[in-house]
Amino acid sequence: MVDQDNSPQQGAPADGDDERVPPMQAILDNPFLLLFIGVAVPAVFYTIWGIMEIAAIPIAK
Amino acid sequence: MATTFAHRVCPDTGLKVCRNAEALIKANAVVAIVFLAIGGLFGLLVALTRWPAVHILPADLFYLALTAHGADILIFWIIFFEIAILYFASAVLLNCRLATPRFAWLAFALMLVGALMGNVAVLQGESSVMFTSYVPMQAAPHFYLGLILFAVGALIAVFVFFGTLVVAHQEKTYEGSIPLVTFGAVAAAIIAVYTIASGAIILIPTFLWSVGLIGEIDTLTYRVVWWGLGHSSQQINVAAHVAVWYAIAALTVGSKPLSEKVSRMAFLLYIAFLPIASAHHLLTDPGLSSEFKIFNTSYAIYLAVLASMIHGMSVPGAIEAAQRRNGFTQGVFGWLRNAPWGNPAFSGMFLSVVMFGFVGGISGVVLGTEQLNLLMHNTLYVTGHFHGTVAAGTTLAFMAITYLVIPLIFRRELILKRWCKWQPYLFGIGTFGISMLMMGAGTLGVSRRHWDMTFSDATLSFDYPPAAFLMMGLNGIFAVLATIGGIMFVVIVVGSVLAGKSRDAEAAKTSPIIFQGGGATIAGHGGEATLKLPGTVTLVTVFFISFVLYYFVNWKFLSEVWPLS
Amino acid sequence: MAVTPPQDRLWWKEPLARMEITWISIAFVWGLVMFFTMVYWHIDGKQNLSNEAYRISPDAFAEKVEVFADEYTVREEGETGIPVVRPPAGGDAYMLGRLWDWWPILELKKGESYRLHLSSLDWMHGFSLQPANINIQVHPNYEMVLTITPDKAGVYSVVCNEFCGIGHHQMVGRIYVTE
């Protein structure tokens, strides 16, 4: 973009810096891992749990 | 970096714009706006019918129009536009080619055929089953088939987006992590996958039932799974319009996220926990346990509300930080007074942030509280709430970014500059009014999806309080205002695309669209040292106090209702 | 900018500003407060919807409601022919929703508790008690049982607030609460 500035900032890593990416950043950088989380969490807590509750409703006397 | 693909270099941004992505963004955005126009006019008819003194449509046409309004706006307008945003946030922002353009066109065709089929089914009059199409009320088979085709198309488009991320990563068209806006689009796309999967799980059997191949569909199961589609589809909007807020703030005032870490964690909370709030709709249903209701309706202890509150701080905060860097340092709100209020992209975005938070957000949390829900379930309060989120929030944000998409992607100058300036305010005030008035009428008990609030044909009579009638009349007036804003928007877009002056490289220099303050000023802030943002602190404090007060006022209302257990 | 990759390659390591930490903490604690308010209301609040529900066929439910009406009908409502049924205090009361009425009319005594059974014979309906403003989703094939204790005398209407077809707006029932 227009303001893609190339001047290195103080605190910004120098070129060739190969310090390891922190694990949480690595997770956030992985869209497919996030996709798994985003489908699994609601599928388990909402859809599956909800249907199990319906299945457990007793038959009227 | 050496990969070549058909592209142009944008004179405004210097980005390589993939020709395929550009064409698909245009196609999806144009079709989206067509459905916005159709759905909006149905919405006007609905509001005029609910205005007791006008009561324009007969009952059958009212329910038809309401079904069309819901499907066209909540599904077709929003999702077509979101697909355009996904292609923009991937191929354009990542400077790369769009993956599998043929599949992207296939997706577009399926979505278009599905949307048309759905509309035809509704207009034929045999499918006035509302957007929710609860069984055992039955629509014509091609109503469900249209929705299924649309969903399949949307799913393909979402995977084209993911494919494009892979292409950009492999071809190294960007350094480090993807931009925050693209990350927000990833969140929207992920929620879309869960949404569409839920839709497929329930609509395919419902279609088979409508053609007689399946005997019966359980109503409670239908509601649980269907709301995985119905509510989560609106959660796609939340993630998408938050990404749009960040994008517009960056492009119009040159803002930079206060903290990449905080904003991305907030999107992660959206990804994991927004969709479980589909349980908002099930709080008064039989047989579901309070544990299920409380856990899901609270997005796992309000983690997604936490995320929204984070964005509600970091979007205005980023704008304030940028504006202060731009030299508007006077007082607490000098940065806000001197914001580009005449730029419809900025004003639309800011109104969307404020109204989504104060109107849609607060009312949504109250409505989604397990016990408070019984005060408002299925009343017009629900409708008021989601006009605060979807109309004043999402639709206004999408309109706002359209003012940037037309010059940047369509390469056309906007026509009717004065209209452009006023349009977000008109639409914003209109949608603010309808949200608040419907919430007011709902608090007085007025039912949603109801043709005649006077009950003139009913065997047993009932009268809502006179204040409710007044509110429904005012609601009609604000709906007219919102419609005028909507018509202005459509005229501006269609006029600019067809007849606007072509935007050339010269114009990019003389009348820049995106903020020209440049890198040096913005690059310096972020991090602790520059974060003195008294305006944002004031805004979030006012928000928090309103939230707490309104929340507890509703518990007070609840405590006055008949004891129930 | 938000539309470009983060400037700092290792953005995760950027420190948080105090204002951000403060706001996140406030929002998190507020979430806990709202969460535990719902839990607290189950322990000490008086308005909670019951989770008691059963599967039942529409025919079986209709039969139960008819038996109930036969036993406790006290009069008919004006010209309409709809029975007004007065269940014993503390006992079971039944109301069914169908296209397009709520049946029968109930007459309850203020301050007494009743086990109200709700279900639908056909499509989904919405039990919306006005002006008390209690709103409950009513399904066919499921019988929901909740205990209600009317605490104000008066004439209450039951509006249907779940769309149920062309006669939806005519679907009004009634509950009398007597002193």
Can you tell me which residue has the tokens 């245009």?
A: B26
How many domains is chain C partitioned into structurally?
2
Split at pLDDT 50, 70, 90, the class of B531 is low
Nearest to B459 by CA among A40, C41, C158: C158
CA triple B377-B378-B382, angle to 5 deg: 80
**C6, part of any domain:** no
- Residues of chain A in contact with residue C3, where contact means CB-CB under 8 angstroms, are 1
Same domain, yes or no, for C71 and C134? yes
How far is C158 from B422, CA to CA, in rounded Å?
A: 44
Same domain, yes or no, for C149 and C78? yes
Can you tell me which residue has the tokens 């603010």?
A: B432
For chain C, residues with pLDDT lower than 70 are none
Whether the upstream peptide bond of residue A8 has omega within 30° of 0, thus cis, is: no
Q: Are B564 and C147 in contact (CB under 8 A)?
A: yes
Rounded mean pLDDT, B212-235: 95
For B66-79, how does the pLDDT look when each residue is reduced to its tens digit (9 = 90+)?
999 999 999 999 99
Distance of CA B553 to the CA centre of its chain: 28
How many domains is chain A partitioned into structurally?
1
How far is B43 from B555, CA to CA, in rounded Å?
A: 32
Same domain, yes or no, for C59 and C29? no
Same domain, yes or no, for C65 and C149? yes
**A18, part of any domain:** no
Residue B525 in this model has a pLDDT that exceeds 60: no
Same domain, yes or no, for C105 and C126? yes
Split at pLDDT 50, 70, 90, the class of B3 is low
Same domain, yes or no, for C81 and C169? yes
Q: At residue B19, what are phi and psi to the nearest 5 degrees?
A: -60, -40
> How much is the pLDDT for B508?
84
Q: Best residue in C32, C44, C49 to probe B by mutation, most B CBs within 10 Å?
A: C49
Q: What chains are in contact with B, requiring at least 3 Cβ pairs below 8 Å?
A: A, C
Q: For residue C117, list its beta bridge partners.
A: C94, C145
Axis crossing angle, helix B396-408 with helix B19-50, rounded to the nearest 10: 150
How far is B7 from B239, CA to CA, in rounded Å?
A: 29
Same domain, yes or no, for C72 and C139? yes
Local structure of C159: helix, strand or coil: strand
| Portion of chain B with pLDDT greater than 70, in percent | 97
Contacts 24+ apart (CB under 8 A), B543-549: B543/B312, B543/B357, B543/B358, B544/C26, B544/C30, B546/B358, B546/B362, B547/B362, B547/B365, B547/C30, B548/C30
- Non-local CB neighbours of B46 within 8 Å, separated by 6+ positions: B62, B65, B66, B69
B-contacting residues in C 132-171 (Cβ below 8 Å): 132-137, 139-144, 146-152, 157, 159-166, 168-171
For B475-515, how does the pLDDT look when each residue is reduced to its tens digit (9 = 90+)?
999 999 999 999 999 999 999 999 999 998 888 888 888 88
- Residues of chain A in contact with residue C56, where contact means CB-CB under 8 angstroms, are 59-60
**Contact status of B271 with chain A (Cβ, < 8 Å):** yes
**A12, part of any domain:** no
**C117, part of any domain:** yes
Q: At residue B58, what are phi and psi to the nearest 5 degrees?
A: -70, 165
Using alpha carbons, list the distances in angstroms from residue B169 to B96, B174, B423, B447: 9, 7, 39, 51
Can you tell me which residue has the tokens 């452009």?
A: B420
Task: Compute the nearest-CA separation of A1 from chain C (Å).
Answer: 7
Burial B57-72 (b: 16+ CB within 10 A, else e): bebeebbbbbbbbbbb
> How much is the pLDDT for B515?
84
How far is B164 from B97, CA to CA, in rounded Å?
A: 7
Cβ–Cβ below 8 Å for B531 and C142: no
Cβ–Cβ below 8 Å for B165 and A31: yes
- Pick from B78-82, B96-100, B530-534: least confident: B530-534
- Give the nearest chain A residue to B227 (CA atoms): A47
For B418-475, how does the pLDDT look when each residue is reduced to its tens digit (9 = 90+)?
999 999 999 999 999 999 999 999 999 999 999 999 999 899 999 999 999 999 999 9
For A22-31, how does the pLDDT look when each residue is reduced to its tens digit (9 = 90+)?
999 999 999 9
pLDDT, averaged across chain B = 94
How far is B129 from C123, CA to CA, in rounded Å?
A: 12
In terms of residue numbers, what domain contains A40? 28-55
Using alpha carbons, list the distances in angstroms from residue B534 to B119, B323, B394, B472, C27: 49, 13, 27, 39, 18
**C11, part of any domain:** no
- Predicted TM-score (pTM) of this structure: 0.94
In terms of residue numbers, what domain contains C98? 53-178
Residue A18 in this model has a pLDDT that exceeds 90: no
- Residues of chain B in contact with residue A43, where contact means CB-CB under 8 angstroms, are 194
Same domain, yes or no, for C165 and C110? yes
Q: What is the DSSP letter of B367?
A: H
pLDDT, averaged across chain A = 80
Q: What is the DSSP string of B399-438?
A: HHHHHHHHHHTS-BPPS-HHHHHHHHHHHHHHHHHHHHHH
**Contact status of C43 with chain B (Cβ, < 8 Å):** no
Q: Best residue in B17, B262, B276 to probe A by mutation, most A CBs within 10 Å?
A: B276
| Portion of chain A with pLDDT greater than 90, in percent | 64
Local structure of C124: helix, strand or coil: coil
Q: C-alpha dihedral over B65, B71, B77, B82, to 10 degrees? A: 170
**A37, part of any domain:** yes
Q: Are B268 and A34 in contact (CB under 8 A)?
A: yes
Q: Are B85 and B240 in contact (CB under 8 A)?
A: yes
> How much is the pLDDT for A17?
58
Same domain, yes or no, for C70 and C158? yes
Give the closest of B286, B455, B522 to C1, CB-based.
B522
- Residues of chain C in contact with residue A4, where contact means CB-CB under 8 angstroms, are 4
**A14, part of any domain:** no
Same domain, yes or no, for C94 and C38? no
> How much is the pLDDT for B407?
94
> How much is the pLDDT for B50?
97
Q: At residue A51, what are phi and psi to the nearest 5 degrees?
A: -70, -35
Distance of CA B404 to the CA centre of its chain: 18
Q: For residue B564, list its beta bridge partners.
A: C47, C148
